[in-house]
Amino acid sequence: MLTSTDNPLVRRLAACQDPRKRREEGMVVVEGRRAIDGCLAAGWLPVHLLVREDLPIPAHWPTATPINDRVATRISQASSPSGYLAAFPEPPAPSLDVTLGGLVLAGVADPGNSGTLIRTAAALALPQVVIAGGADPWAAKVIQATAGAIAAVTILVHPGGPEVLAGGAPRCALVVSGGTPPAALKAGPRWLIVGGEANGIPAPWLAACEERLTLPMPGGTESLNAAVAGSIAAYLMATR
């Protein structure tokens, strides 16, 4: 059982709270029984699986190492640690098929919004999610917001601009006003570009979009939360 917060493994896993350290370790730390279940169901194999000593270990899980509460708190990024922690190898960068379309998170910095949108992509079977700035998709808080659905989505972290999608499916910017209503868009694959709460879609991405989409809001609300708006738009596009 791991009982010391000075244990080398505990220090390494705790250091993964920093994105740079996490990338150096090449690990993705997943917290919570449900999120870990989702990763295991998708075929991810844990490098380390840690369970607080007072908690049951699901019968279908691999062998887990017991830890005490101090260790769970040291590693966890949650305000109330669940006691279930796993470290998986970071998935290799996938190849991108620009013709299939998918979802682009362009500067979505809030981990909850980012995770919710990734979860939406998984629920709607969107083929690909491109992360263009914003929250680290492999951060624990993002993964927790996906409830483990992140393992079912092809994710490409792209530090550059919209040229990565050039020549593929149309790029459609989700904008607050001035865009086409969803029903007017032609059916077919496209890239839905969703921006962050504060600054919206970065200018280079917005300029490169062949289409713009605005959700009608007859109630008069000025705007919606990025995750809510992006999820509604993704659903309307996926079900056309």
Kindly report, residue by residue over 65-84, the tens digit of the pLDDT: 999 999 999 999 888 899 99
Enter the tokens of residue 176.
């607050």
Res 219: pLDDT: 87
Q: What is the mean pLDDT of residues 11-18?
A: 93
The residues with which 128 forms a beta bridge, in sequence order, are 154
Q: Which of the four pLDDT bands, split at 50, 70 and 90, describes residue 36? A: very high
Does the pTM of the predicted model rise above 0.85? yes
Collapsing DSSP to helix, strand or coil, 135 comes out as coil
Task: Round the average pLDDT of the chain to a whole number and report it.
Answer: 93
What's the CA gap between 86 and 76, in Å, rounded?
Answer: 10
> Is residue 62 pLDDT above 80, yes or no?
yes
Query: What is the DSSP secondary-structure string of 23-84?
Result: HHHTEEEEESHHHHHHHHHTT---SEEEEETTSPPPTTSPP-EEE-HHHHHHH--SSS--SE
Most confident segment among 153-162, 185-194, 214-223: 185-194
Q: Give the model's confidence band at 183: pLDDT under 50 very low, under 70 low, under 90 confident, else very high.
A: confident
Ordered domains of the chain (ranges, CATH): 8-89 (3.30.1330.30), 102-238 (3.40.1280.10)
Rounded to an integer, the average pLDDT of 165-183 is 93
**DSSP 8-class letter at 93:** P
Q: Which residues lie across from 131 on neighbouring strands?
A: 105, 157
